[in-house]
């Protein structure tokens, strides 16, 4: 048998591989450490502040033309809410559905789909960017959220608008929810959409009503919206991070 | 044995912070890529079958899972690394190439953006310090003579023969090295930053020209990925050069600053 001694090059290579392995293990341990996770999370505040400072509050997301529409608008998350109540509403073409607006407002409201269709509408062809990486372009028609909030009149304490939805991603889990700040809530392109590509919003895309908040990623665009609640703090709602995915580690500010 | 002080403390410190950041953004970037391992050209793209590039897996006629890398119409079996990992799990890039190792998009994003910020700040400091001290002009800008075709061809030939400068010549970057570093600093790095920002729906609202620059968000994502591949290529060449030029001497010069000039060989 040949006697083996390590050359300097072999030692370097082995050392590098061993160091690499250690470093990777360390990254995984750090990911699971709550205090390190807090350090990583600090970047979100920096991103939020930087983007709010650099991008005007009313700067518009790009709008596209009919030629740019995606052949099919992809659906992610829930395809159809799995609840008795939702099925009953859907069967009646949402004629009995009402959007509830409450919380820190002077005038709590219940709006039917017919009432919302009578309000001034906005149509916009925009790009939907999923956090996974894909983008689809769709044409949305709906009521600007600002119009609804103006009718309900925000309390001076109002800071966030929360959207409570009809769907649960896993059976038995709390329903989906999302929240945005007032800058995005009052943005002209933030609409409660009831139409996609000129037709009633399909169930897979959030019927009867979904949020469009065009300067953020897809998971902020709550589907199957049942109730809009205006609040001062988010910590009392479900996991306290302001949204279903936020409670599972994703950024509350999804502008990037 | 003649030793010189080659790298300033600032250069050394910034180099290692940079190395750490690049390592983390590359690997967390692959974690993010794994969430949708398809690349498109244009404004939108959501259907993997219409992607220009994809890493996927499918059943072989024998019934086991095969990892596939597809670029346009060309398809390659990549089982064991891409599409299907060494342990049989179905994921685009394997666990040893991503941060975190397990499939965890939310954490990958946290790592990516934190270290991207650190990288941007570190790079800004590097540019400021380098400009203030004339490092860019003095050490990195090739002279007119160095850019002459004969000089460049000779330098290229030396590289191919793995002949490394010695004596006085070893005190300075060689022309190919200068051009490469400048290319990374002034072309590759800004392109990575701009294509990354072009993927941000928030930034797109404020700076719509980012979208025009890359012909759409999905093209920007593809450019971002190609740039990442170029960075990996740069690192590979960089490390090979360090190994060939004398790893301990080179490593020490980047840690303590002390560099022993290779003696001039008798020819």
CA distance A22 to chain B (A): 11
Establish if B145 touches chain A: CB-CB under 8 angstroms: no
Residue A3: is its pLDDT beyond 70? no
Using the beta-carbon criterion (under 8 Å), do A42 and B114 form an inter-chain contact? yes
Containing structural domain, residue A73: 60-248
What pLDDT does A237 receive? 97
pLDDT digits (tens, 9 = 90+) for A227-238: 999 999 999 999
Chain A neighbors of B110, CB-CB under 8 A: 37, 40-41, 43-44, 249, 251
Which regions of chain B does DSSP assign to beta strands (E)? 3-5, 38-39, 53-59, 65-71, 74-77, 83-84, 90-91, 258-260
pLDDT above 70: percentage of residues in chain A: 96
Strand order, beta sheet including A160-165: A109-112, A98-103, A225-231, A160-165, A177-181
Q: A37 vs B165, which has greater pLDDT?
A: A37
Residue A19 pLDDT: 76
A17 assigned to some structural domain = no
Q: Which two tokens stand for residue B80?
A: 């064991």
Distance between A181 CA and the closest CA of chain B, angstroms:
14
CA closest to B243 among chain A residues: A9
- Asked whether the predicted pLDDT for residue A97 surpasses 90, the reply is yes
Q: How many CB atoms lie within 10 A of CB B149?
A: 7
> Is A56 in Cβ contact with B218 (below 8 Å)?
no
Please tell me if residue B9 touches chain A, with a CB cutoff of 8 Å: no
* Domains: count for chain A: 1
A30's CB contacts (< 8 A; 6+ apart) are A36
A127/B101 touch (CB, cutoff 8 Å), yes or no: no
Instruction: Return the pLDDT at B267.
Output: 44
B154 part of contact set with chain A, CB < 8 Å: no
A50 domain residue, yes or no: no
Taking residues A52-72, what's their average pLDDT?
A: 97
Q: What is the DSSP letter of A248?
A: G
Residue-level pLDDT at B38 = 98
The domains located in chain B, with CATH, are: 3-37+98-260 (1.20.950.20), 42-92 (no CATH)
Name which of B105, B106, B108, B104 is nearest B116 in CA terms: B108
Domain membership of residue A236 (yes or no) is yes
Chain A residues 32-71 with CB within 8 Å of chain B:
37, 39-44, 46-47, 51, 54-56, 59-62, 64, 68, 70-71
User: Residue A6 — pLDDT band, cuts 50, 70, 90?
Assistant: low
For residue B199, what pLDDT is reported? 98
pLDDT digits 0-9 by tens, B41-66: 999 999 999 999 999 999 988 889 99
Q: What is the mean pLDDT of chain A?
A: 94
Q: Is residue A31 part of a domain?
A: no
CB contact under 8 A, A135 and B38: no
pLDDT in 10s for each residue of chain B, 267 residues: 788 888 889 999 999 999 999 999 999 999 999 999 999 999 999 999 999 999 999 998 888 999 999 999 999 999 999 999 999 999 999 999 999 999 999 999 999 999 999 999 999 999 999 999 998 888 999 999 899 999 899 988 988 888 888 888 888 888 999 999 999 999 999 999 999 999 999 999 999 999 999 999 999 999 999 999 999 999 999 999 999 988 999 999 999 999 998 877 654
In which residue are the tokens 């490394």 written?
B164
Reported confidence tier of residue A8, pLDDT bands at 50, 70, 90: low
In-domain check, residue A192: yes
Look at residues A78, A197, A187 and name the one whose alpha carbon lies nearest to residue A137: A197
What is the spatial distance between Cα B47 and Cα B36, in angstroms, rounded to a whole number? 10
**Per-residue model confidence (pLDDT) at position A9:** 64
Domain of A156, CATH number, reads 3.90.420.10
Position A1 scores a pLDDT of 45
For the record, the structure tokens of B131 come out as 């400009």
CA angle at A187 for the pair A183 and A189, rounded to the nearest 5°: 150
For the purposes of burial, counting CB atoms within 10 Å of the CB of A192, is it exposed (0-12), middle (13-18) or buried (19 or more)?
buried
- Name residues whose C-beta falls within 8 Å of residue B93's C-beta, 6 or more positions apart in sequence: B30, B31, B33, B34, B37, B55, B82
- The nearest CA of chain A is from the CA of B109 a distance in Å of 8
Q: Confirm or reject contact between B104 and chain A (CB < 8 A).
A: yes
Q: What is the pLDDT of residue B228?
A: 98
| 3-state secondary structure labels for all residues of B127-162 | HHHHHHHCHHHHHHCCCCHHHCHHHHHHHHHHHHCC
**H or E stretch covering A38:** helix A34-54
Tokens 């303590």 locate to B256
> Cis omega before residue A104 (within 30°)?
no
Nearest chain B residue to A129 by CA: give it. Answer: B201
Cβ of A217 under 8 Å from any chain B Cβ? yes
Q: Coil, helix or strand for B65?
A: strand
* pLDDT tens by residue, A138-169: 999 999 999 999 999 999 999 999 999 999 99
pLDDT recorded at residue A187: 98
The values of phi and psi at residue B236, to 5°, are -60, -50
Average pLDDT estimate for A219-223: 98
Average pLDDT value for residue range A116-122 = 97
Q: Write the residue in A27, A74, A133 that is nearest to B35 by C-beta.
A: A133
First to last CA, chain B: 19
Interface test with chain B among A134, A205, A218, A241, by most B beta carbons within 10 Å: A134
Contact A177, A164 (CB under 8 A): yes
Of the partner residues A71, A129, A250, the one whose CB lies closest to the CB of residue B201: A129
The answer as to whether A80 is a domain residue is: yes
- B109 in reach of chain A (CB within 8 A): yes
The confidence score (pLDDT) of residue A207 equals 96
Q: What angle do CA B190, B192, B194 make, to 5 degrees?
A: 65
pLDDT surpasses 80 at A132: yes
- Alpha-carbon gap: B10 to the closest alpha carbon of chain A (Å): 24
In a domain, A199, yes or no: yes
Q: What is the DSSP letter of B80?
A: B
pLDDT for residue A4: 59
Least reliable range by pLDDT among A9-18, A64-73, B191-200: A9-18
Q: Is A234 part of any domain?
A: yes
User: Cis ω on the peptide bond leading into residue A33 (within 30° of 0)?
Assistant: no
Query: Which tokens hold the place of B118?
Result: 């650190």
């Amino acid at each position: 048998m040949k006697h083996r001694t390590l050359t300097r090059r072999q030692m370097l290579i082995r050392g590098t591989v061993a160091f690499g392995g250690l470093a990777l293990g360390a990254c995984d341990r750090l990911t699971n450490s709550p205090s390190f996770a807090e350090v990583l999370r600090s970047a979100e505040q920096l991103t939020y502040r930087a983007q709010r400072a650099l991008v005007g509050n009313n700067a518009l997301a790009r709008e596209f033309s009919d030629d740019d529409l995606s052949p099919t608008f992809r659906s992610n998350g829930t395809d159809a809410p799995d609840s008795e109540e939702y099925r009953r509403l859907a069967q009646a073409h949402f004629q009995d559905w009402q959007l509830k607006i409450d919380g820190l407002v002077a005038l709590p409201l219940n709006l039917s789909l017919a009432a919302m269709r009578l309000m001034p509408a906005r149509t916009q062809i925009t790009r939907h960017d999923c956090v996974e990486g894909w983008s689809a372009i769709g044409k949305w028609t709906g009521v600007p959220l600002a119009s609804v909030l103006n009718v309900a009149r925000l309390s001076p304490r109002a800071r966030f608008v929360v959207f409570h939805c009809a769907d649960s991603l896993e059976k038995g889990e709390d329903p989906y929810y999302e929240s945005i700040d007032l800058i995005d809530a009052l943005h002209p392109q933030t609409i409660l959409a009831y139409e996609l590509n000129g037709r009633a919003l399909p169930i897979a895309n959030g019927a009867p009503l979904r949020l469009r908040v065009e300067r953020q990623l897809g998971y902020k665009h709550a589907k199957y919206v049942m109730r809009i609640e205006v609040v001062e703090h988010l910590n009392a709602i479900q996991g306290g991070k302001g949204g279903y995915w936020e409670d599972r580690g994703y950024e509350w500010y999804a502008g990037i | 044995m003649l030793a010189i002080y080659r790298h300033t403390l600032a250069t050394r410190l910034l180099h290692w912070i940079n190395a750490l950041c690049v390592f983390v953004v590359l690997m967390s970037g692959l974690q993010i890529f794994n969430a949708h391992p398809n690349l498109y050209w244009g404004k939108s793209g959501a259907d993997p079958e219409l992607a220009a590039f994809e890493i996927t897996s499918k059943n072989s006629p024998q019934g086991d899972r095969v990892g596939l890398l597809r670029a346009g119409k060309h398809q390659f079996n990549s089982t064991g690394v891409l599409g299907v990992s060494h342990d049989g799990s179905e994921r685009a890039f394997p666990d040893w190439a991503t941060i975190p190792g397990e499939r965890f998009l939310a954490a990958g994003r946290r790592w990516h953006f934190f270290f991207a910020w650190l990288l941007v700040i570190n790079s800004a400091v590097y540019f400021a310090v380098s400009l203030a001290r004339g490092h860019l002009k003095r050490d990195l800008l090739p002279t007119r003579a160095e850019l002459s075709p004969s000089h460049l061809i000779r330098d290229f030939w030396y590289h191919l023969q793995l002949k490394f400068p010695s004596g006085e010549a070893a005190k300075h970057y060689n022309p190919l090295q200068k051009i490469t570093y400048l290319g990374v600093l002034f072309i590759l790095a800004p392109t990575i930053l701009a294509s990354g920002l072009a993927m941000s729906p928030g930034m797109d609202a404020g700076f719509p020209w980012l979208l025009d620059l890359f012909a759409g968000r999905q093209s920007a994502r593809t450019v971002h990925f190609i740039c990442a591949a170029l960075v990996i290529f740069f690192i590979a060449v960089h490390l090979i050069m360090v190994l060939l030029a004398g790893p301990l001497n080179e490593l020490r010069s980047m840690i303590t600053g002390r560099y022993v000039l290779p003696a001039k060989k008798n020819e």
